[in-house]
């Protein structure tokens, strides 16, 4: 028997959001929820701006919203709550998202198999009838060992969410910066145009033969799973996408402005611990108008990435 009714889904979703430090910090709000679907709101904030010159939201903010909404859709589709984690997520950016305007994501879990959940969704901004982006994601459900017979008395949705740690009580004091202190680095070179990159605190380490290495310093507000704890998967996506843009700006000659995301896909290998995270990129294909890049994201060991991602980018160049 399902433990969810319409009201209890709302209670569970609100507890779920309030228990995720990044979602709570972002003031995300559940607008609507039902069996297998949710609409989640990300209120406008100057911090989310990715390009002040072009007045655009950073695409990584859309990824965080989409990942969170898709997770809520999976949870709302289940008969009994169990662990689940993002396997991969793909974003298609249909039109430029305007800065300082609310964004909503309506996500639907359209297939819930024994092992995997499949979700798709659309992201909208106030005043626009057409979506600014679409998302497709897959989630791994709890392993067989966690899918046990339900107890005689099922917990309420509020009790099922009670294991989530309050963002204010989460203790991360024992986690330390993992970067060697003698590693030369500078703040990411954005020309002061990207408040979101400044918020993430991304740094660029000294140029190496394979291209620059980027570092995302740990912040407790970036946590997405307070139980492990682990960084938010959407934050990893935003970091990876930023790293690819900075890599292209640093390595491709003749670029007039920051590349603009066309699409982005990320595959998660393992949970990202609450420590510093690193990324290094490769340009797979460089055309006149579009570049394809890929990025490896790791923490303790470059040979054991926590995620891999790739994306296409529009390259602003002089007409010649």
Same domain, yes or no: 26 and 148: yes
Percent of the chain surpassing pLDDT 70: 83
Residue 318 confidence class, pLDDT cut points 50, 70, 90:
low
N-term to C-term CA, the chain: 66
Residue 38 vs residue 184, higher pLDDT: 38
Domain final residue, candidates 117, 146, 161 = 161
Number of domains in the chain: 2
> In terms of domains, do 259 and 134 share one?
no
Same domain, 129 and 15: yes
Q: Which residue has the higher pLDDT, 75 or 185?
A: 75
Q: Name the least confident of 2-6, 147-151, 231-235, 264-268.
A: 147-151
Residues 235 and 305 in one domain: yes
Token match 């969170």: residue? 68
Q: How many CB atoms lie within 10 A of CB 10?
A: 18
Residue-level pLDDT at 308: 98
Domain that holds residue 262: 185-314
Q: Is residue 132 a part of any domain in this protein?
A: yes
Backbone angles phi, psi at 64, to 5 degrees: -65, -45
Statement to judge: residues 209 and 285 lie in one domain? yes
> Same domain, yes or no, for 13 and 136?
yes
**pLDDT on residue 219:** 94
Give, in degrees to the nearest 5, the angle at Cα 19 between 88 and 243. 40
CA distance 22 to 65: 10
Instruction: Say which CATH number the domain at 91 has.
Output: 3.10.129.10
For residue 51, which phi and psi values (nearest 5 degrees)? -150, 105
Do 110 and 189 lie in one domain? The reply is: no
Q: Is residue 320 part of a domain?
A: no
pLDDT tens digit string along 145-184? 444 444 434 444 444 443 444 444 455 554 545 555 466 7
> What mean pLDDT is reported for the chain?
85
pLDDT greater at residue 21 or residue 4 = 21
pLDDT digits (tens, 9 = 90+) for 58-73: 999 999 999 999 999 9
């Amino acid at each position: 028997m399902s433990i969810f009714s319409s009201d209890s889904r709302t209670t569970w979703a609100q507890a779920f959001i309030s228990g995720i430090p990044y979602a709570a910090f972002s003031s995300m709000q559940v607008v609507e929820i039902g069996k297998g679907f949710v609409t989640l709101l990300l209120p406008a904030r100057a911090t989310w701006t990715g390009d002040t010159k072009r007045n655009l939201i950073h695409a990584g903010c859309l990824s965080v919203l989409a990942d969170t909404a898709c997770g809520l859709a999976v949870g709302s589709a289940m008969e009994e709550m169990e662990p689940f984690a993002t396997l991969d997520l793909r974003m298609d950016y249909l039109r430029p998202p305007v800065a300082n305007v609310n964004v909503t994501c309506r996500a639907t879990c359209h297939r819930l198999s024994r092992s995997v959940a499949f979700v798709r969704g659309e992201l909208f901004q106030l005043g626009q009838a057409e979506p600014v982006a679409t998302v497709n994601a897959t989630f791994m459900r709890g392993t067989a060992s966690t899918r046990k017979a339900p107890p005689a008395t099922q917990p309420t949705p509020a009790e099922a969410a009670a294991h989530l740690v309050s963002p204010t009580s989460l203790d991360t004091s024992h986690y330390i910066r993992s970067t060697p202190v003698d590693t030369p680095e500078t703040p990411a070179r954005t020309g002061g145009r990207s408040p979101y990159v400044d918020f993430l605190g991304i740094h660029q380490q000294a140029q190496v033969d394979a291209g620059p290495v980027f570092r995302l310093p740990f912040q407790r507000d970036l946590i997405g799973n307070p139980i492990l704890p682990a960084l938010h998967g959407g934050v990893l996506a935003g970091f990876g996408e930023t790293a690819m843009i900075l890599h292209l700006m640093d390595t491709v000659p003749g670029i007039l402005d920051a590349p603009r995301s066309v699409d982005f896909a990320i595959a998660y290998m393992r949970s990202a611990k609450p420590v510093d995270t690193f990324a290094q990129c490769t340009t797979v294909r460089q055309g006149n108008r579009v570049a394809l890049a890929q990025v490896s994201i790791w923490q303790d060991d470059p040979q054991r990435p926590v995620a891999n991602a790739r994306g296409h980018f529009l390259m602003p160049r002089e007409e010649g």
